[in-house]
């Protein structure tokens, strides 16, 4: 007599299929969480960089004394 378990059958137990689907869902969630954590780290780094520039009062558009002058490279108050 054959047992009720289908050893040679290719049918999968429905709970096995559900378990596999749950595992895949959890893995996708973990990957999404890792990607989100990475995006937050990039945003934090950019924010820190911008805050540092803001606090330093650095203005790359402020004119400087041209090279070759004794004060060359120094910032000027106004264009002369």
Model confidence pLDDT, tens digit, residues 25-65: 888 888 898 999 999 999 999 999 999 988 887 777 888 88
Check residue 11 and give its pLDDT. 67
* Total-model pTM: 0.46
| DSSP one-letter code for 75 | B
Q: Map tokens 């996708």 to a residue.
A: 28
């Amino acid at each position: 007599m054959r047992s009720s378990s289908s050893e040679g059958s290719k049918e999968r137990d429905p709970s096995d299929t559900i378990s596999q689907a749950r595992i895949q869902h959890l893995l996708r969630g973990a990957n999404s969480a890792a990607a989100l954590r990475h995006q937050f780290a990039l945003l934090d780094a950019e924010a820190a960089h911008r805050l540092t520039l803001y606090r330093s009062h650095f203005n790359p558009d402020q004119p400087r004394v041209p090279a070759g002058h004794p004060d060359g490279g120094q910032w000027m108050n106004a264009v002369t």
